[in-house]
Structure 1
Amino acid sequence: MWFQERDGKYRYFERYIDPYTEKTRTVTVTLTSKSKQAQKQATRILADKVNKLISHKEGSKITFHELYDEYFKNWSPTVKASSLRGTVALDKRIKESINKDVLAKNIDRRLIQDLVNEMMDEGYAYSYYNGYKKRFFSILEFGVRMGYIERNEAKYVKAPKKIKTFEEVQGKRENYLELDEIQKLIKALRASWRLSHIANFVEFMAFTGVRYGEAAALTFNDVDLENGTVTISGTYDRALKIKTTPKTDFSYRTITIPDNVKEVIQNQIEELSTHRALKGDNFNKDNYVFFTVNGSAIDLDTLNVVIRRTAEKVGITKYLTSHIFRHSHIALLAQLDVPLSAAMDRVGHTDYKTTLSIYSHVTKSVKIDIVKKLNDLK
């Protein structure tokens, strides 16, 4: 290092070899003193500058934690806040599993496979430890793309699936409600005026097939009762309590609604008018179609508790979550012989396998009808 004095200030210089051109370059910093303390400060600043300039080229020396930090910095601005929250636990576990001084290039398939198997043995759901594996893949794929490592070892890792029992398979196949069960549940909810808004919400989901978040985020601006359509234009972020963009681009859609759903929405319009007359125009300021007595969106946890308790009272033994109404709607479409592609478009599915898995196990009445038609062939 050397320095030059100019106009009462001191400019410090340091040479380094540019790893891209392999030519000598110079970095500088200007300070107001040439004291020993100032020279030490200049040395430190210039060293930091040089390290930053050559660090990208010297990828083989990057630690896994450094790679993760750079990956996250590039990835996080490209995804929704809800997606970030969904990776918090997985990313935390990944970072806790790898020591801070482990080089990224030394992360191999055996290490990742052992960590995935460990999660399976601990009893985590397949979707969770498979997501863990996918996070490893994304981080290392970024490292390959940036030239820090030569190969993504996570490509060779498998998330093993446990063998399911007959009862587990059958339970998944029957993860929907029959039409009479839907009607029984809605009737029981309507029996209490305090739950009328939940009854409307459930009926809307069951006869449109929308996701909880899509129904919760629906505003009156998305509704066209004259033409009998609703437009799905967003989803409800439970943490931020706001309407955000939908799950996927394919989730944007306009669907037709039957008469009972029109009536449900009309009921909600009348409810809103009543509440605003009593509580002011600021009630339900976000203009949600479905709202609580406080004017806020329907809470998912509350919804699930209410429908489970009500189902138990009327003798429905299936385990209920809000998503069962989406599956139930797809089952109804299968019963009505709606083509698979039309059903996918209606519910906003991009992967035909998701819809087909339900179409393959249609309601009991359809199965009975199949037997009847086969008998008629004789």
Structure 2
Amino acid sequence: MWVEKRKIKINDKNKPGKKIEVTRYKFIERYKDSLTGKEHKVSVTYNRDNARIRKAALNEINDKIDKLQKQVNQKATTLTLKQLGTLFLSYYEPTVAPRTYIYHKSLLNQIYEDLGEDILVVRITTPMLNRYFDSKLYNSDTSLSNSYVNALKKTLSLLYKYANRYGYLSINPVKDSQITFKDETETKRDRIENKYLNKKEYQKILKYCDKKHKQYLKDAFELQYLTGLRFGELSALQVKDVFEKDGHTYLDINGTMVTTDTHPIRHFKSKRTKTLAGLRQVLLSPHATKIVQRNCIGKKKDEWLISHRTKKSGSNSPLILNSANSFLKHAAKEEKISKKVTTHIFRHTHVSNLADMGVPLRVIQKRVGHADSDITRRIYLHVTKHAKEEFIDMIDKIDDTE
């Protein structure tokens, strides 16, 4: 609490029509609105300033704040899941990367659909959430993965932590909830080889691009295969991000492509990568250099490195993740590739190729922008284990050469 001394003019009771100057003391305190998180001021005014007055002013201010917060808490008891989610997202959006915001927004939309957007947040309990998570994992119609259900829980946890922090709720049903995870050991073991392409499958994808006259997609997939870039990082590359150093060509990875869920859809480059480790400079092979140099021809520094001309506007459009994945889905089906082929498979294939060449894991992680990654480690260990098994077979046959 602080005091502001002010001189004001008031009507003179003894002399009607005249004003006199008097001193007033305004006692002020800040408090944080538990609904919005914004700071507000509360004040009271007295004629004097002394220890007794200050104590009285503080008590009066605290009473005012308590009344204001009680009004807020009364509103919170009628707050629906959708209303809380809307408030949370407005708070959350400026604090995280655009892709992270869009990701959690989509998960919240799924939660609204499952639990009901009009359900009161005070009615959501821990047992209810436990049943919800079980239904998402074991319902024969949905049967979602452990990772997706865990992502739903993490989003709910963010929502309730926000509600606790700003006074919407005093309880957090997510905190004590538990997910009875499925045993995915066999699934993961069977799936690891499906995370990357062999050379024959990779060539089939490139030939399909030629068949469909999609040179820009072929260039994109080849660059991912040769660099291990995330598709969002590749999409966000501009001509100015290509540079030469000591006779070699590099790509400066300094952002990722963001696609909004607004109408009309917007595409823009964020100022950050998915992780801090994603900020890096990637050395290009001779073939990758040729692809990059060809795509730089006739473009200004701020233009997208890989782009294509759209029929509607006639302007250059950046790479779109959903369109690329849709194309790959059709390619895999037509070329009879049994694996789930998305843009990310080229990144994993790059990891497997480097592992097969004997490149240390820490060097691979730095190149692909991973501080730590379970899937990168699993691919690396799988490939190196396979190489060791082949080596053992060679040793077993060495006696035959005598």
User: Above 0.5 in TM-score?
Assistant: yes
Instruction: Say if 2:286 is the partner of 1:241.
Output: no
> 1:86-141: CA deviations, max 9, x gaps?
2334324545626867464x643212112222222241522332222112211222
1:332 and 1:363 in contact (8 A); partners too: no
Which one has the bigger strand percentage? Answer: 2
Change (3 A) 1:91 1:301: closer
- Out of 201, 215, 220, which is 1:196 matched to? 215
Q: Give the aligned partner of residue 125 of structure 2.
A: 108
The TM-score normalised by the length of structure 2 is: 0.69
The TM-score normalised by the length of structure 1 is: 0.72
- Out of 308, 320, 341, which is 1:299 matched to? 320
Report the CA distance between 1:254 and its aligned residue.
0.8
Report the CA distance between 1:51 and its aligned residue.
5.0
Q: Give the aligned partner of residue 225 of structure 2.
A: 206
How far apart, in 1, do the equivalents of 2:334 and 2:76 lie? 63
Report the CA distance between 1:233 and its aligned residue.
0.9
How far apart, in 2, do the equivalents of 1:159 and 1:182 lie? 38
Aligned length: 329
How far apart, in 2, do the equivalents of 1:72 and 1:163 lie? 33
Q: Give the aligned partner of residue 357 of structure 1.
A: 378
2:192 and 2:378 in contact (8 A); partners too: no
How far apart, in 2, do the equivalents of 1:306 and 1:56 lie? 51
Instruction: Say if 2:391 is the partner of 1:370.
Output: yes
Change (3 A) 1:365 1:186: farther
1:109 and 1:154 in contact (8 A); partners too: yes
Report the CA distance between 1:151 and its aligned residue.
5.1
How far apart, in 1, do the equivalents of 2:75 and 2:354 lie? 54
Instruction: Say if 2:315 is the partner of 1:289.
Output: no
2:238 and 2:305 in contact (8 A); partners too: yes
What SS is found at the alignment partner of 1:351?
Answer: coil
What SS is found at the alignment partner of 1:356?
Answer: helix
Give the alignment of 1:270-349 within 5 angstroms.
270=297, 273=298, 286-294=302-310, 295-349=316-370
1:109 and 1:156 in contact (8 A); partners too: yes
Change (3 A) 1:364 1:328: farther
> 1:351-373: CA deviations, max 9, x gaps?
23231121122289736633335
Q: Give the aligned partner of residue 41 of structure 1.
A: none
> 1:193-251: CA deviations, max 9, x gaps?
x2222211111000111111111111111112443211111111133211113212221
Query: RMSD value over aligned CA atoms?
Result: 3.9
- Out of 61, 83, 99, which is 1:82 matched to? 99
> 1:118-168: CA deviations, max 9, x gaps?
222241522332222112211222344446655533233233333448567
How far apart, in 2, do the equivalents of 1:175 and 1:67 lie? 38
Give the alignment of 1:2-13 within 5 angstroms.
none
1:59 and 1:149 in contact (8 A); partners too: no
Question: 1:292 is aligned with what amino acid?
Answer: H
Question: 1:132 is aligned with what amino acid?
Answer: L
1:335 and 1:366 in contact (8 A); partners too: yes
1:27 and 1:49 in contact (8 A); partners too: no
Higher mean alpha-carbon deviation, 353-362 vs 81-90, is at 81-90
How far apart, in 2, do the equivalents of 1:103 and 1:310 lie? 45
- Out of 62, 68, 73, which is 1:52 matched to? 68
Higher mean alpha-carbon deviation, 64-73 vs 251-260, is at 64-73
Q: Give the aligned partner of residue 191 of structure 2.
A: 171
2:253 and 2:280 in contact (8 A); partners too: yes
Unaligned runs of 5+ in 1: 8-17, 29-47
